[in-house]
Structure formats: structure tokens, C-alpha cells
Amino acid sequence: MDRTASPERIAVLQDQYRHAFTRYQLAKRTADQAEAACNAALRACEAAHDDEVNAGREVMRAAAALEAASDTAFLTEHGISAC
């Protein structure tokens, strides 16, 4: 088997290498951008979830306050002490 390559063959291989490397760089850049977008979306999702949890807690506090005020109003309306 002849281990030598003609200059033309070397030129073809170099061209194939450059083309493959360019495709790799584009794919890497696209993957990096997609990963950054994914990370940003994850952070946004986590922040939205935190907001949801905090809003749920506020709802529970407001419901408890409303219930207490309603109970007090009912008792007062009927002349019953809230003790």
C-alpha cells in the first residue's frame, strides 16, 4: 500500500477538514446558544414558580384574615363575644 499522497489528494483532504471544522464550529455555537437559552428559561421558570409559591402564601394569609374578620363580624352582629 502506497502511504504517499498526491498534492491533489492532500488539498482535497484539507478542504474536507476545513469544511468539517467549520460545520463543527457552527454546531458548537448553536449548541452553546441553545444551552444559554435553556438555562435562561430554567431560571425564568424557577422565578415564576417562586412567585407562584409566594402568591399562594399571600392568598392563604388573606383567606385567614378574611375568615377571622368575617367570624368576628358575625359574632359581633349577634352580640356574641369573640373571646
Range of the domain at 37: 7-83
Residue 67 has pLDDT above 60, yes or no: yes
Q: Is residue 60 part of a domain?
A: yes
Exposure string for 44-72, b = 16+ CB within 10 A, e = fewer: eeeeeeeeeeeeeeeeeeeeeeeeeeeee
Give the span between the Cα atoms of 71 and 69, in whole angstroms: 5
User: pLDDT over 90 for what percent of the chain?
Assistant: 88
Convert the pLDDT of each residue in 18-57 to its tens digit: 999 999 999 999 999 999 999 999 999 999 999 999 999 9
pLDDT at 2: 61
Distance from C-alpha of 15 to C-alpha of 67, rounded to nearest angstrom: 77
Residues in the chain: 83
Q: How many domains does the chain have?
A: 1
Classify residue 64: in a domain, yes or no: yes
Alpha-carbon span 7 to 63, nearest angstrom: 83
pTM > 0.75 = no
